[in-house]
């Protein structure tokens, strides 16, 4: 092998220079050009060879691991393992000598075939010939062409595609063509179920016809959606006299699930059930990673979850939601990007649709969280001292019964004594935990009668408070009890494990796993309560209706985390949405998710305008005589104007709010003005979200009152939606602990948080809200913006720029006349 066929002369010289200063064994990261020749190098390991995971963690997709040996170029066992794992992911592994004159290409870099989509979009091309009534759009072709380039040149692309572009076909066609041509795997990650359903039921079947090739595609659901047979058949369903009615109902549901499993279930997916099942019961029978015995489970060969995972490993295209994608990334963050322990198989191309949601979703997955309800539930899963029935008594009584059946009397007596020690310590630990969580609840409520409270846990400012000092003392005792409990559990498990019982039902296994969850709970609680790690905001959320307190540690800047764990690992990534740019630039978006230009690799950017004629299809009204939204009389003053506006279009209206309190106030003050026989008023939280949308589409003169989730992802075409009223500009509440921390961090770095974060974030949300109105070329309607800051504040120009030019700014009376 000639080394020049694999590494350029300039890179060879770089390697030689590096090795003069570092003479020990070392590993380099080789960065190839588009022809597969290494043109740049970086040291990733020197002097000491790290673990396989450590080496792979430092590599990107489609690069080269270069190992230096002083003499024979023969791979070690570790080299072979690294080469195999990284090779399967599309990378290469070379061994060179110290002089950089010889090479052993253990795994060569894969050669990629380029694609061209022109034959599909041309007049009388593949699409026109095969799909009748398919509307060829210039904007769709333009977007697909950008994605073709990003695939062929192995670069990242951000593309804002206006409503009506047909972006799903625009990204599915080139990514799938490239994947099929080069035997790669594509992930499409979305934020909403609606878009997933559209992909599965409409767009992917259409793409199959267009490309004329059969390929496997799967929607990937979370593990918790699948039934676990072992857990199901471990539940006692025998009826006992004088059982509580609730227990009888639960046993009936479990019997139905057993019947479903035996005769009807295809995939064991909760979504297959023809009836609703409570989360409380489903959690007793669902598949969980840490409760899985894998190949040691007696039901392994018939396991629904592993059957589903086999299907996804064979698929070319996988559809996931953002939450699952980042749950998978959290695992890769721990075990390395190229791993066999993740939820998803290793992938080559990622398309983030609805990509404006990535930052918040990722932040949720890097957040440490625990709660009072979770603590109580976890203790109950181990041992519930209040329960009268076996089903709800926890795993410890089941384990005790199992041990009683499988050990002789004297052996069981010893074990039972150790079990009683565990029960005693567990109850003591639970009592202290509830005491400290209750004390924290009272402390942050501070005597206020509020249904919900959010507050920062700032140790520095609270340390002088005498009540908080008492809570700190409680935690010292809580920590001691946690240590005592761990000792008792370990002693009990060590004694049980000496007998080497078969444990086919998994009672010993489950008890050990729940005990591990308990350790993790305390670890999380300490992490949040102590609040010592930099880069996090520590905060609490209290809900008095559910008598719950949640504790959080949320990173306020996730750009570095995302860059290191995802963006730096992969180049064929598409970020798309109708709302990514602010002032026709992607600076805000790129900064927040850690997208940076790398050496010799620029991120491609494109804004594709909507094919809709907004000037003709949409009218925008802004009442100039509205009060400032900070005025307490703001909504009351606009009451009559809102009533007349809604009546002008006979309903068919979305009212979008930024808070539940304003929504509830306006709903209660308006409902008497719209008779039930003439109008259908639909308020968020009165129905599930999908039911609200269905009602709106099918009801007479509907008026929908919605907050955050209704600003996006809702598609109502035709005359059923004729007006969207935006009550306030969608600025995040600055007193929210996470928002407050983000603002503080931006200020700390010497920047203006309002212009750098608050305004751009609100503009993107605003664009989403405006986008609810016009969903097709024939739709028409009006937007009313009640917030006068768009015309009275300098930053209002940022919002006005995203609107069509035919804006009517006038007093309310004149606007109503025009609307009529």
Q: If you average pLDDT over residues 566-587, what whole number do you get?
A: 93
Residue 588 structure tokens: 């805000």
Cα distance from N-terminal residue to C-terminal residue, the chain: 81
Residue 776 structure tokens: 């097709």
Q: What CATH topology corresponds to 115-216+315-366+558-611?
A: Rossmann fold (3.40.50)
Residues 6 or more apart in contact with residue 647 via CB below 8 angstroms: none
**Residue closest to 439 by CA, chosen among 466, 415, 460:** 466
* Lowest-confidence pick of 90-94, 105-109, 122-126, 498-502: 122-126
d(CA 206, CA 201): 9
pLDDT-derived band at 388, boundaries 50, 70, 90: low
**Residue closest to 377 by CA, chosen among 357, 362, 395:** 395
pLDDT confidence of residue 713: 85
Instruction: Find out whether 720 and 697 touch, Cβ atoms under 8 Å.
Output: yes
The answer to whether residue 561 scores a pLDDT higher than 70 is yes
Residue 119 structure tokens: 């034959």
Residues 121, 122, 123: CA angle, nearest 5 degrees: 120
Residue 488 backbone class (left: φ over 0; alpha: ψ -120 to 50; beta: rest): alpha
- 3-state SS of 641-662? HHHHHHHHCCCCEEEECCCHHH
pLDDT confidence of residue 730: 97
| Local structure of 726: helix, strand or coil | strand
**Residue closest to 228 by CA, chosen among 284, 280, 278:** 284
pLDDT-derived band at 46, boundaries 50, 70, 90: low
Q: If you average pLDDT over residues 275-301, what whole number do you get?
A: 90
| Local structure of 44: helix, strand or coil | strand
d(CA 732, CA 204): 36
The backbone torsions φ and ψ at residue 28, rounded to the nearest 5 degrees and listed phi first, read -110, 155
Residue 400 structure tokens: 């005790």
The separation between CA 160 and the C-alpha centre of its own chain, rounded to angstroms, equals 21
* H/E element, 551: strand 548-555
Residues 554, 555, 561: CA angle, nearest 5 degrees: 140
Instruction: Find out whether 44 and 86 touch, Cβ atoms under 8 Å.
Output: no
- 3-state SS of 217-275? EEECCCHHHEECHHHHHCCCCCCCCCCCHHHHHHHHHHHHHHHHHHHCCCCCEHHHCCC
DSSP states of 28-43: EEEEE-TTS-EEEEEE
Give the count of beta carbons closer than 10 Å to the beta carbon of residue 662.
18
Q: Name residue 188's beta-bridge partners.
A: 319, 351
- Beginning with the edge strand found earlier in the chain, give each strand of the sheet holding 64-69 in spatial order: 38-46, 26-32, 64-69, 92-97, 103-107
Mean pLDDT of the chain: 91
pLDDT-derived band at 161, boundaries 50, 70, 90: very high
How far lies 252's CA from each of 228, 239, 274, 550, in Å?
18, 10, 15, 33
**Residue closest to 459 by CA, chosen among 450, 471, 448:** 471
d(CA 688, CA 696): 12
pTM across the whole model: 0.89
* Burial of 24 from C-beta contacts in 10 A (0-12 / 13-18 / 19+): exposed
- Beginning with the edge strand found earlier in the chain, give each strand of the sheet holding 157-161 in spatial order: 217-219, 317-321, 186-190, 349-352, 573-577, 157-161, 604-608
pLDDT confidence of residue 222: 86
Residue 456 structure tokens: 């920062």
* H/E element, 604: strand 604-608
Instruction: Find out whether 111 and 37 touch, Cβ atoms under 8 Å.
Output: no
**Residue closest to 40 by CA, chosen among 20, 24, 60:** 60
- What pLDDT, in 10s, does the model give residues 277-286? 888 899 999 9
- Beginning with the edge strand found earlier in the chain, give each strand of the sheet holding 452-456 in spatial order: 368-371, 548-555, 536-543, 452-456
d(CA 630, CA 701): 31
Instruction: Find out whether 629 and 788 touch, Cβ atoms under 8 Å.
Output: yes
d(CA 263, CA 602): 55
- What pLDDT, in 10s, does the model give residues 707-744? 988 999 889 999 999 999 999 999 998 889 999 999 99
pLDDT confidence of residue 615: 94
- What pLDDT, in 10s, does the model give residues 125-156? 888 888 887 778 899 999 999 999 999 998 99
What CATH superfamily classification does 3-107 receive?
A: Cytidine Deaminase, domain 2 (3.40.140.10)
Q: Write down how long the chain is.
A: 820
Percent of the chain scoring above 70 in pLDDT: 97
pLDDT confidence of residue 158: 98
Give the count of beta carbons closer than 10 Å to the beta carbon of residue 588.
20
pLDDT confidence of residue 549: 96
CATH of domain 614-819: 3.40.50.300
The answer to whether residue 24 scores a pLDDT higher than 80 is no
Residues 6 or more apart in contact with residue 589 via CB below 8 angstroms: 158, 356, 575, 580, 581, 582, 595
Residue 781 backbone class (left: φ over 0; alpha: ψ -120 to 50; beta: rest): left
pLDDT confidence of residue 559: 92
Q: Where, residue-wise, is CATH 3.40.50.300 in the chain? A: 115-216+315-366+558-611, 614-819
Rg over alpha carbons for the chain, rounded to the nearest Å, is 30
pLDDT-derived band at 746, boundaries 50, 70, 90: very high
d(CA 287, CA 231): 8
- What pLDDT, in 10s, does the model give residues 471-502? 999 999 999 999 999 999 999 999 999 999 98
d(CA 517, CA 502): 23
Instruction: Find out whether 655 and 666 touch, Cβ atoms under 8 Å.
Output: yes
d(CA 390, CA 408): 23
């Amino acid at each position: 092998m000639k080394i020049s066929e694999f590494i350029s002369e300039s890179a060879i010289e770089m390697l030689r220079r590096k090795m003069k200063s570092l003479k020990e064994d070392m590993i380099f990261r080789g960065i190839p050009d588009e022809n597969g020749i290494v043109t740049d190098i970086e040291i990733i390991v020197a002097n000491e060879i790290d673990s396989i995971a450590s080496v792979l963690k430092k590599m990107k997709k489609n690069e080269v691991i270069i190992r230096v040996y002083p003499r024979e170029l023969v791979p070690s066992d570790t080299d072979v393992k690294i080469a195999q794992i990284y090779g399967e992911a599309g990378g290469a592994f070379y061994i060179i000598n110290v002089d950089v004159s010889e090479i052993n290409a253990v795994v060569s870099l894969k050669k990629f075939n380029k694609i061209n989509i022109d034959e599909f979009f041309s007049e009388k091309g593949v699409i026109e010939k095969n799909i009748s009534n398919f509307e060829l759009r210039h904007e769709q072709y333009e977007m697909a062409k950008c994605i073709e380039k990003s695939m062929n040149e192995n670069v990242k692309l951000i593309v804002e595609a206006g409503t009506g572009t047909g972006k799903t076909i625009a990204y599915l066609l080139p990514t799938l063509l490239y994947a099929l041509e080069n035997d790669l795997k594509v992930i499409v990650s979305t934020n909403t179920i609606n878009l997933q359903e559209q992909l599965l039921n409409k767009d992917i079947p259409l793409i199959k016809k267009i490309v004329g090739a059969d390929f496997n595609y799967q929607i990937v659901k979370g593990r918790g959606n699948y039934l676990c047979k072992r857990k199901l058949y471990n539940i006692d369903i025998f009826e006992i006299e004088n059982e509580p009615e609730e227990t009888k109902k639960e046993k009936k549901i479990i019997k139905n699930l057993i019947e479903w499993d035996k005769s009807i279930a295809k995939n064991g997916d909760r979504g297959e059930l023809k009836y609703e099942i409570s989360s409380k019961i489903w959690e007793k029978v669902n598949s969980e990673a840490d409760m899985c015995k894998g190949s040691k489970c007696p039901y392994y060969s018939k396991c629904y979850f592993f059957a589903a995972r086999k299907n996804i490993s064979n698929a070319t295209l996988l559809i996931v939601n953002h939450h699952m994608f980042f749950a998978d990334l959290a695992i890769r963050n721990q075990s390395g990007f190229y791993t066999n322990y993740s939820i998803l198989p290793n992938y080559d191309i990622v398309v983030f649709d609805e990509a404006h949601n990535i930052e918040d979703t990722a932040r949720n997955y890097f957040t440490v969280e625990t709660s009072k309800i979770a603590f109580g539930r976890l203790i109950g899963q181990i041992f519930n001292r209040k329960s009268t029935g076996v089903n709800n008594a926890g795993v410890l009584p089941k384990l005790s019964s199992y041990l009683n059946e499988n050990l002789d009397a004297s052996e069981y007596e010893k074990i039972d004594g150790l079990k009683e020690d565990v029960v005693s310590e567990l109850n003591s630990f639970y009592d202290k935990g509830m005491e400290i969580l209750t004390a924290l609840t009272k402390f942050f409520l501070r005597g206020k009668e509020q249904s919900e409270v959010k507050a920062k846990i700032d140790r520095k400012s609270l340390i002088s408070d005498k009540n908080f000092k008492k809570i700190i003392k409680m935690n010292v005792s809580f920590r001691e009890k946690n240590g005592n409990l761990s000792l008792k559990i370990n002693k009990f498990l060590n004694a049980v494990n000496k007998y080497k019982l078969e444990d086919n039902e998994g009672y010993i296994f489950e008890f050990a796993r729940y005990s591990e969850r308990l350790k993790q709970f305390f670890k999380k609680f300490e992490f949040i309560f102590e609040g010592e790690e930099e880069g996090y905001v520590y905060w609490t959320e209290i809900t008095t209706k559910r008598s719950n307190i949640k504790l959080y540690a949320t990173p306020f800047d996730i750009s570095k985390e995302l860059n290191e764990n995802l963006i730096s690992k992969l180049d064929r990534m598409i970020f798309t949405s109708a709302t990514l740019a602010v002032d026709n630039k992607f600076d805000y978006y790129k900064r927040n998710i850690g997208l940076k230009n790398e050496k010799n690799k620029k991120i491609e950017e494109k804004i594709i305008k909507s094919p809709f004629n907004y000037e003709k299809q949409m009218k925008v009204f802004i009442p100039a005589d509205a009060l400032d939204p900070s005025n307490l009389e703001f909504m009351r003053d606009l009451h009559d104007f809102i009533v007349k506006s809604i009546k002008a279009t006979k309903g068919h209206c979305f009212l979008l709010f930024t808070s539940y309190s304003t929504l509830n106030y306006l709903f209660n003050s308006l409902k008497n003005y719209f008779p039930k026989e003439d109008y259908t008023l639909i308020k968020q939280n009165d129905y599930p979200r999908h039911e609200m949308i269905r009602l709106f589409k099918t009801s007479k003169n509907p008026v929908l009152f919605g907050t955050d989730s209704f600003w996006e992802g809702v598609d109502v075409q035709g005359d059923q939606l004729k007006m969207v009223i935006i009550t306030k500009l969608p600025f995040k509440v600055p007193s929210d602990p996470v928002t407050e921390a983000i603002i503080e961090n931006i200020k700390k770095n010497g920047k203006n948080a309002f212009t750098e974060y608050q305004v751009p974030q609100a503009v993107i949300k605003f664009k989403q809200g405006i986008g609810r109105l016009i969903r097709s070329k024939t739709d028409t309607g009006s937007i009313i913006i009640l917030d006068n800051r768009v015309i009275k504040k300098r930053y209002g120009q940022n919002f006005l720029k995203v609107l069509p030019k035919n804006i009517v700014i006038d007093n309310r009376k004149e606007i109503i006349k025009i609307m009529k």
